[in-house]
Amino acid sequence: MRMSLDKTDVKILKALTSDARSSSRQIAKQCEISIGTALSRIKKMEQEGIIKAYSTILDHEKLGYELTVVTEITVSKGRLLEMENEIARIPNVVSVYDVTGLTDAVIIAKFKTREDLSKFAKRLLALPYVERTNSHVVLTTIKEDFRLL
């Protein structure tokens, strides 16, 4: 069952996604609530799994990951979940999606060199039950931000 969020919860989440380093005092002030309310609401959202972790947003290109690749995968013999879990463990992979349409899954991965990308593509094709891949190299990233609030 999903926890229902009220306006205060949403305000807290917006504050945290804006800056996860904010103190409880800062969040309380920004949301116009008491520190105790802020702390208890955050704790409840953590327990419910709404807040999974706290993270830093990195500029991958400044870290040398200049290639972003979106790869569509077709898997045979009902082994989709098994293949997706194996692919998700590959270090360069940042997202794995089970999708509808002509392919079974979409993978987003980042690479420093074309050689790294080539090794990745060959590794995917060598996996059992992977029938076909179709990779797209991203030319320009217009927006990449998974913060919805």
Could you identify the residue written with the tokens 């327990």?
A: 47
Indicate the number of domains in the chain.
2
- The answer to whether 95 and 133 have CB atoms below 8 angstroms apart is no
Q: Are residues 87 and 129 in the same domain?
A: yes
Domain check: are 65 and 113 in the same one?
yes
Verify that 72 and 106 share a domain, yes or no.
yes
41 inside domain? yes
Is there a domain that residue 42 lies in? yes
Burial class from Cβ neighbours inside 10 Å (0-12, 13-18, 19+) for residue 29 reads: middle
Segment 25-41 mean pLDDT: 96
CA distance 109 to 70: 7
Residues 84 and 107 in one domain: yes
Residue from 20, 27, 88 nearest 55 by CA: 20
- In 1-146, where do the E strands start and end? 67-75, 93-98, 105-111, 130-137
Name the pTM for this structure: 0.83
Query: 52-105: per-residue pLDDT in tens?
Result: 999 888 999 999 999 999 999 999 888 999 999 999 999 999 999 999 999 999
Is residue 79 located within the same domain as residue 114? yes
Domain hosting residue 38, numbered range: 7-47
Q: What is the mean pLDDT of residues 6-33?
A: 95
